[in-house]
Amino acid sequence: MTENQREEEIHVDEEEVQHLMQSLPKITLLNSKLELVNYQGFWHPHILNYFKSTLMFQRHFHARNTDIIIASFPKTGTTWLKSLLFAVVNRFRYPKNQNPLLKHHPHELVFRLEVDVYGDAFEYPRPHHLNELPSPRLLHTHLPYTSLPESIKTSACRILYISRNPLDTIVSSYYFFLEYMKNIQGDQDFNHVTIEEFCEDFCAGRTAHGPFFEHVVGYWKQSLERPDKVLFLKYEDLKDDTRFYVKKLAEFVGMPFSSKEESEGVVEEIIELCSIKNLKELEVNKSGVINKFFEKKSYFRKGEVGDWTHHFTPSMVERINNLMQDKLEGTALSFKMLSSQ
């Protein structure tokens, strides 16, 4: 089979995409050029053929039983989890000083399916390359559970979901939005969007991949129903006890640390390699862009629990807490808002 034939196989009809697009609700986020389209109940960014590539991912991706898929709402710890998962799974493959994480941004090692793989604007693997990736394939998506391709839900592949308290997620999303606007819109002074305005839209669900709580609860419920299939992690827990959760992650993906490895400090080495302090200082993560617009360094900001305390007024905090109470009622899910260290 030639590459062209393979490309044809994954084709989604442009006319159909346009037709579908026209029928879907759209909004522009905070007077920016960032358009969001509501598809299957969630707001998806309408940039870079994103909608088309989402459809392609939904229709053409075939999960292998051995795939490990990170799922996340943006700004909840994706980059960190990508680096940890990559380091855990590949720990026997590379000598310490040749770990690809030293030369590549974590987003260049764990591909986002609806963008890097099925998007057409990027230098990353085209869909046919997926077939050539060795198992276990480490992949990522920001899609909500309900929108995942059937083969992810029905195969034996595993999902690692990372979540984060909504207040820190909003702060992190806000700064990323400002950076993104500066880059895509060439607007050096996009700071006129206040965090209050951003928060207002976020709470109303109008944010890329929102609504937030529905995204989180979708995966939370799956993790309760099928704990062998979905591991639900929280950023705050990972911060509090990184060692415990890295070991848990390794067990979940079927590659537990041996007692020899533990006594040799392999877990600690991985934690150190993937710490924000270390990743931020690597030359590869200091300059350059991911997917044309996203500066590599903007994925490493503070990396703290509780940064929201420097940003929100008491009334905003109350508003978000009330919303959270309402949305999480009866789910037994809760978030730590402050660091316990």
What is the contact surface with ligand PAP in residues (CB under 6 A)?
A: 72, 74-80, 83, 168, 172, 175, 274-276, 279, 299-303, 307
- Amino acid 147 reads S
Q: Which is nearer to ligand PAP, 118 or 180 (CB)?
A: 180
Q: Which is nearer to ligand PAP, 153 or 301 (CB)?
A: 301
What is the closest distance, in whole angstroms, from the C-beta atom of residue 203 to ligand PAP in the complex?
18
Cβ(196)–Cβ(309) under 8 Å?
Answer: no
What is the closest distance, in whole angstroms, from the C-beta atom of residue 325 to ligand PAP in the complex?
23
Q: Which is nearer to ligand PAP, 75 or 158 (CB)?
A: 75
Q: In sequence order, what are the beta bridge partners of 140? A: 70, 112
Q: What is the set of active-site residues?
A: 142
Residue 124 burial by Cβ neighbours in a 10 Å radius (0-12, 13-18, 19+): middle
Q: Which is nearer to ligand PAP, 10 or 177 (CB)?
A: 177
Cβ(65)–Cβ(155) under 8 Å?
Answer: yes
CA distances from 288 to 135, 187, 282, 298 (A): 29, 19, 12, 10
Q: Are strands 68-72 and 138-141 parallel, antiparallel or unpaired?
A: parallel
The DSSP H or E segment spanning 245 is helix 242-252
